[in-house]
Amino acid sequence: MGSVAIAGAGISGLASIRSCLEEGLEPTCFERGEDVGGLWKFLDHAEEGRASIYRSVFTNSSKEMTCFPDFPFPDEFPNFMHNNKLQEYITAFAKEKNLLRYIQFKTLVSSVNKRPDFSFTGQWDVTMERDGKKESAVFDAVMICSGHQHVYPNLPKESFPGLKLFKGKCFHSWDYKEPGPFKGKRVLVIGLGNSGCDIVNISSRSGSWVISRVWHDGYPWDMMTITRFETFLKNNLPTVITDWWYTKQMNARFKHENYGLMPLNGALRKEPVFNDVLPACILCGTVSIKPNVREFTETSVIFEDGTVFEAIDCVIFATGYSYAYPFLDDSIIKSRNNEVTLFKDIFPPVLEKPTMAVVGFVQSLGAAIPTADLQACCTARVIKGTCTLPSIKDMMHDIREKSVFSSTSRFGKSNTIQMDYIVYMDELASFTGAKPNIPWLFLTDPKLALKVYFSPCSPYQFRLVGPGKWPGARNAILTQGDRMLKPITTRVVGSPLKPVVISAVSVAVFLALF
């Protein structure tokens, strides 16, 4: 077994190519676009069947938490990057790891089917389209790398009475590219996701936590909150304490209740909205938060509280995305009521042979690149036969158990599979042998152990040991703070603490003497 078809050349696809090569497999990646990057490859127009971002999109995860685990961002790169800067990094990674030679661009995967002898061989018939021509090939395994599926807009027009009467423009945020065309317009945005709150006035049914990329003392939010120590506390303290702690963290910048943003169930760990200016816009009156829409008229909207927003020019639906695998039989990956059944959120559990995987679909409060990288590593090792999946019965039991915990206890229902970042990463790393042994580190390398446990859980931790071990991982962990500070310390200033300390010492001496 060796040939692997990879659908998509975004971050998940690139991670999959690299992992296959590390395991001695033979990857062939099919990308319908002209370049790598997937979602992060900005186009000035939306294309059917492709993910779409708007021009001003920045990353929500900082660079030290976002990188491929053996390929740090350049020191001078900003901590949170504009999409073109991240695309530059993704392209550099593909070139550095010599991955481009394995990608067939402008090629669409149109169908993936089991071969008649699948129960014995685990092989797949893969049909591709290029320049209007179809061709098929047989592969030993398939890796689906379409990521979070920001491809199929969820546009629930039937949920809004009177919308058919509305005479203004109406579209999904998938089509939104820049604010210029809306200058001077009265715009209503329905939804409070990470796309919705960067545009204009907002109607939200359930509210959302809104947090800034800048956290305590000016550090990136994820370098302050995604640590092993904090994860240990939150997963072991009583629920009443962790709920209070989480709510306090979310309200650290401003009281959401006063801004009309408070979520209906604030204790759920659903993905927050990252926005650095929304509270200020609300304070300045340029944005107002309204409840759910009751009904539309020809030119206005009536909200559930009876208030009216009149003379609307445009309605933008920031209502998320549906997901689909149109090239795949529904029986392979069940997608019903926004639920996908996958073991470890990667492997379809009902296949006779474990030769298919979905990489990058899971969503956690952590960066997508290191998550996809570790998923790809797991998949390549399963395909190679180095790691073995449990029985179908055991996999289904594990899926049901985690579904009950994640969906009802912590994250609520969502259009994506959500989970705790560090817990999930450690689970995958344990499966492949890449999880760092913290007690052993404290005995053998206490300096590194302190960083690993109490400092940010950066991607480098998952290349300290095991397959793909990177010799530079230790140094990368010890110097991650330096790289975070490098692009922002562009003007050297003296520490304001020194005069205070001297003054305090002087006062103490004076009091001692007199």
* Residue 215, both tokens: 């956290």
Amino acid in position 337: N
> What pTM was estimated for this model as a whole?
0.90
Closest by CA to 69, choosing from 371, 335, 275, 271, is 371
Over residues 167-212, the pLDDT tens digits come to 999 999 999 999 889 888 999 999 886 554 445 679 988 899 999 9
Over residues 69-95, the pLDDT tens digits come to 999 999 999 999 999 999 999 999 999
Over residues 18-65, the pLDDT tens digits come to 999 999 999 999 999 999 999 999 999 888 888 889 999 999 999 999
Over residues 316-337, the pLDDT tens digits come to 999 888 888 889 987 788 655 5
Residue 351's pLDDT is 93
Judge whether residue 368 has pLDDT over 90: yes
Work out the burial of residue 121: count CB atoms within 10 Å of its CB; fewer than 13 is exposed, 13-18 middle, 19 or more buried. Answer: middle
What is the spatial distance between Cα 169 and Cα 140, in angstroms, rounded to a whole number? 48
Judge whether residue 502 has pLDDT over 80: no
What is the spatial distance between Cα 13 and Cα 144, in angstroms, rounded to a whole number? 8
Q: Cα-Cα-Cα-Cα dihedral of 501, 502, 505, 506, to 10°?
A: -150
> Largest Cα–Cα distance in the chain?
96
Distance of CA 475 to the CA centre of its chain: 26
Q: Cα-Cα-Cα-Cα dihedral of 321, 327, 331, 335, to 10°?
A: 0
